[in-house]
Structure 1
Amino acid sequence: MEKRNFHLRIAKPEDAEEILKVYAPYVEKTAITFEYEVPSVEEFRGRIENTLQHYPYLVVEDETGILGYAYAGRFQTRAAYDWAVETSIYIRMDQKRRGLGRILYDALEEGLKEQGILNVNACIACTDQEDEHLTNDSIYFHKHLGYRLVGKFYQCGYKFHRWYDMVWMEQMIGEHKENQEPIRLFPEIYINFLHWLSKSV
Structure 2
Amino acid sequence: MEDIIIREVQLDDAKDLLEIYGYYVENTAITFETQIPSVEEFKERILAITAKYPYLVAEMDGKIVGYSYARAYNVREAYDWCVEMTIYLKEDIRGKGIGSKLYLKMEECLKKMNIKNLYSCIAATKHPSKHLTNASIDFHKALGYRINAQFKQSGYKFDEWYDMVWMEKIIGEHEIHPKNVEKFSGLC
TM range (shorter): over 0.9
Maintained 8 Å contact 1:68/1:90? yes
Match of 1:141 in 2: 139
1:57, distance to aligned residue in structure 2 (A)? 0.3
Quote the RMSD (CA, aligned, Å).
Answer: 1.0
1:13, distance to aligned residue in structure 2 (A)? 1.1
Farther-moved stretch of structure 1 (55-64 vs 161-170): 55-64
Structure 1 stretches of at least 4 aligned residues deviating more than 4 Å after TM superposition: none
Identity of aligned residues (%): 49
Rounded Cα–Cα distance in structure 2 between residues aligned with 1:95 and 1:71: 18
> Pick from 35, 41, 44: which aligns with 2:42?
44
Rounded Cα–Cα distance in structure 2 between residues aligned with 1:180 and 1:34: 35
Maintained 8 Å contact 1:11/1:57? yes
Rounded Cα–Cα distance in structure 1 between residues aligned with 2:156 and 2:71: 23
Point out where structure 2 has 5 or more consecutive residues left out of the alignment: none
Match of 1:77 in 2: 75
Rounded Cα–Cα distance in structure 1 between residues aligned with 2:146 and 2:124: 15
Rounded Cα–Cα distance in structure 2 between residues aligned with 1:80 and 1:6: 36
Q: Specify which structure has the higher proportion of helix.
A: 1
Letter in 2 for 1:73: R
Superposed CA offset, 1:39-58 (max 9, x none): 00000011111111111000
Point out where structure 1 has 5 or more consecutive residues left out of the alignment: 197-201
Maintained 8 Å contact 1:13/1:46? no
Q: 1:123-162, aligned counterparts within 5 Å?
A: 123-162=121-160
Letter in 1 for 2:124: C
Match of 1:199 in 2: none
1:6, distance to aligned residue in structure 2 (A)? 2.4
Maintained 8 Å contact 2:118/2:170? yes
Superposed CA offset, 1:161-197 (max 9, x none): 11100000000000101111110111xx32xxx3x4x
Rounded Cα–Cα distance in structure 2 between residues aligned with 1:64 and 1:114: 28
Match of 1:107 in 2: 105
Rounded Cα–Cα distance in structure 2 between residues aligned with 1:68 and 1:130: 23
- How many residue pairs get matched? 188
1:64, distance to aligned residue in structure 2 (A)? 5.4
Give the TM-score of the pair, scaled to structure 1: 0.91
Give the TM-score of the pair, scaled to structure 2: 0.97
